[in-house]
Amino acid sequence: MSLVKGKSYFISVTDAVLRAEPLKNSEPKNHLLFGDWLKYLGQENGAWAKVQCRGDKGWLAKANFSSDRVLEVNFVDIGQGDGCHIVTPNDEVILVDAGIGDNMFRFINWRYNLRSRKVIGADGVDADDPGAREPFEIDHVVISHPDKDHYYGFQNLFESRKVTVKNVYHNGAVERPISVADKDPDLRYFSKDDLGGYIEKQHGDYFLWDMVTSDTTMQQLIKKHKTTRKQYLQTLRKAVENNKDVKFTTLNADRDYIPGFSDGEKVEIKVLGPLTEKITRGNKYKRCLVKLGNEGVTKNGHSVILQLRIGKLKVMLGGDLNTEAENYLLRHYAQTSFDTSELENRLYQIKAKGHTASSEEKQELAETEIELQAIITKARRHFQADITKACHHGSHHFSETFLQALNSLVTVISSGDEESYAHPRPDALGSFGKYGRGVRPLIFSTELARNTKEFSHIYDYFSRLKDYEAKIEAATSDKEKKKIETKMQEEKDSNVAVYGMITLRTDGEKVILAQKLEIPSGDDNKWDIHELHFNDNIDEFEYLQSAKGH
C-alpha cells in the first residue's frame, strides 16, 4: 500500500503495538485495536511507518494498515441504564440511549476531544477566532423508550453548544401532562399512566391512540407544554431549543429500516419492534401500540428493537423488552396463537411431576415441546443474532423461548451499581449461558468490566481530583482557572471511557470484542480481546479463544 501523508488509515489486524522506534522490540507506547484510527505522519523506515493514534505518536508496521474503516459499536458504561455509541464505516455517528446521568456526555467529550474544541458560540468563541469550528455532528439518536435510565442522559448532549443532533428516533409513546380539558370522552385514561388516551377494542384489548407519529406532532406537543415537569418532554425540548433543524421520527416494525440503512446498504439497521396494529376510530385509523400491562410494562415492552447487519454479522439491540412483550413478538413473528411463557410454565409443571405424570400429561408434554420448538425455529428467521445487548439490564423478566430464538453467541449486559434490582439477575446470567450458542457463549458486563477491588487505585484517582480542586482554588486568573477545570473534566471523561466499556469492531467478516484491563501488564497489553470467526461449514460465527488476557 502506498501511504499518503496526512491521510487517515485504520488498524487491519486483531491488535497491534505502537512502538517508540521502528523496531519490533522497541519500547511500546500503546496497545491498538482492530479498526483504530491512524494518521500517517509522512515518515517511513523499511517496513515501518510513523503515525499518530490514540493521542500518541510512534511507529507501526505497515502490514497493519488498512484504508477501510470498520463498524464500531461501543457499549458505554453509563451506570444504570443503556448507552450505545456506534460509528459506521461511512463515519456516521449513532447513539442508542444514553443512560440517566452524564456518562455518555463525558464519553462523547473524551472520544471527540470536545473540551478543547473551539466551537463557534461556545465559551465565547466567535466565527473569526483562529481555529474556530462548527459543533460536532451526531447524525442519529435513538431513544428506545421513555424510561429515564435510557433517555435522561441525552439532556447534556442536547443542550451542549459543542454538539449538534440531526435526527431523533423514538417509539411514538410520549409522556405528557393530561388535564381534564385534554381528555377525549371516547378514550380511556388509566391512573398513573401519562402516555395519553387508549381506545378499547374487542377482547378487552386497549390501544394507545395518542401516539406521536410525525415530526409535526412532536414539535406541536413540545411547544404546547413549555413548562411541563415531565422529564421526557423536557429532554426533547432541549433537543429542539439547541438543534434548530432536528427532526423527530417514529420507529416501529412498519418502517422496516432506519432511513439510510436499508436492505442492501453496507450497514443495515432493521427495525423489528415495536409492533403496531391498525386501529380504526370512526373514519380515522392509526397504527397503535397495544397496552401490555401497566405503564411501566407497556413502555418497556414497546422498546425500539434494532438489528444491525454488516456482512455476515448480526447485532441485536432490544431496549427493555419484558416477558409480556416477548410473548407478543413471538405470537406475531412465529405466527402462533400461544403465549410462550404459558407454554413454558406448563412444560415445567409437568416435568416437575416426573414419573408420577399421567399418560395424558406426558402426551401434553411432548406436544408442548414440539410447539415451543416450532416457535423457536420460526422466530430465529427474524431474531437470531450473533451479538445481543441483553434486554432490561439482565432482568428476570424474560422468556426462555425468546432467548433460544435469539441464539446469541455473545451477550452484553449494561447495568450499574446504584440500583435496587440486583441487575444482572442470577437466573438471567445462567440463562444467557444455557441458551447461548456454541461451546463457550460469551457474557460481557459493563458493571463487571469496571469493577475495582477494595482499597485499590481508585483512591489515587480521587486524590488527583482533589489536587485539581486545590489548583483551581489557587488560580490567579479566570483563564488559568478555566484551563485547570478543563483538564480535570478531561480526566473524568477519560475515566468513563477507560473502564467498563465493551467495544465491538467488525467489517462483517472479522469480529473482535474487547474490554480494557484495569491493571495492564504493560503498554503492549492493555486490552482483554475476544475474537469471533465465521465457520463456512456451519454458516455461522464461532468463538476463538481469547486473543489477549488470561
Q: What's the CATH code of the domain at 44?
A: 2.30.30.40
Residue 45 lies in a domain: yes
pLDDT at 478: 72
Q: Is 368 helix (H, G, I), strand (E, B) or coil?
A: helix
Residue 63 lies in a domain: yes
Does the structure show a pLDDT above 90 at 27?
yes
pLDDT at 455: 38
Residue 252 lies in a domain: no
Tell me the pLDDT of the chain averaged across its residues: 89
Does the structure show a pLDDT above 60 at 549?
no
pLDDT at 394: 60
pLDDT at 463: 65
pLDDT at 94: 98
Distance CA 272, CA 382 (A): 8
- Give, to the nearest 10 degrees, the angle between helix 359-383 and helix 340-353: 140
Could you please report the per-residue DSSP string of 68-128?
PPPEEEEE---SSS-EEEEE-TT--EEEEEE-SSSHHHHHHHHHTTTTT--BTTSTT--TT
pLDDT at 550: 46
pLDDT at 462: 58
pLDDT at 521: 81
Residue 474 lies in a domain: yes
Read off the pLDDT band of 126 (50, 70, 90). confident
pLDDT at 417: 57
pLDDT at 464: 63
pLDDT at 447: 76
Could you please report the per-residue DSSP string of 192-248?
T--S--EEE-GGG-EEE-----SHHHHHHHHHH-TT---HHHHHHHHHHHH-TT-EE
pLDDT at 458: 47
Distance CA 462, CA 479 (A): 24
Boundary-marking domain end, from 68, 87, 106: 68
Residue 539 lies in a domain: no
Q: What is the mean pLDDT of residues 189-216?
A: 92
Write the pLDDT tens digit of every residue in 447-458: 765 654 433 444
How is residue 108 written as a grid cell? 462523547
Give me the residue label for grid cell 465565547: 124
% residues pLDDT > 90 (the chain): 69
pLDDT at 423: 59
The number of domains in the chain is: 2
Identify the residue with better confidence: 222 or 487: 222
pLDDT at 457: 47
pLDDT at 313: 98
The answer to whether the beta carbons of residues 48 and 41 sit under 8 Å apart is no
The answer to whether the beta carbons of residues 15 and 31 sit under 8 Å apart is yes
Distances (CA, A) of 193 to 57, 139, 174, 442, 543: 55, 32, 11, 38, 44
Neighbour count for residue 69 (Cβ, 10 Å): 17
pLDDT at 475: 74
Q: Is 190 helix (H, G, I), strand (E, B) or coil?
A: coil
Read off the pLDDT band of 499 (50, 70, 90). low
Residue 109 lies in a domain: no
Q: Which domain holds residue 46?
A: 1-68
pLDDT at 220: 96
Residue 462 lies in a domain: yes
Write the pLDDT tens digit of every residue in 239-248: 999 998 999 9
Residues contacting residue 486 through CB under 8 Å, at least 6 positions apart: 115, 116
Q: What is the mean pLDDT of residues 96-121?
A: 90
How is residue 521 written as a grid cell? 501488564
Identify the DSSP state of 153: T
pLDDT at 390: 86
Distance CA 132, CA 357 (A): 77
Give me the residue label for grid cell 494518521: 39
The reported pTM is 0.91
Distance CA 202, CA 238 (A): 40
Write the pLDDT tens digit of every residue in 388-442: 998 765 667 788 999 999 999 999 988 765 555 565 768 888 888 999 999 899 9
Residue 488 lies in a domain: yes
Boundary-marking domain end, from 11, 37, 68: 68
Q: What is the mean pLDDT of residues 350-374?
A: 96
The answer to whether the beta carbons of residues 316 and 306 sit under 8 Å apart is yes
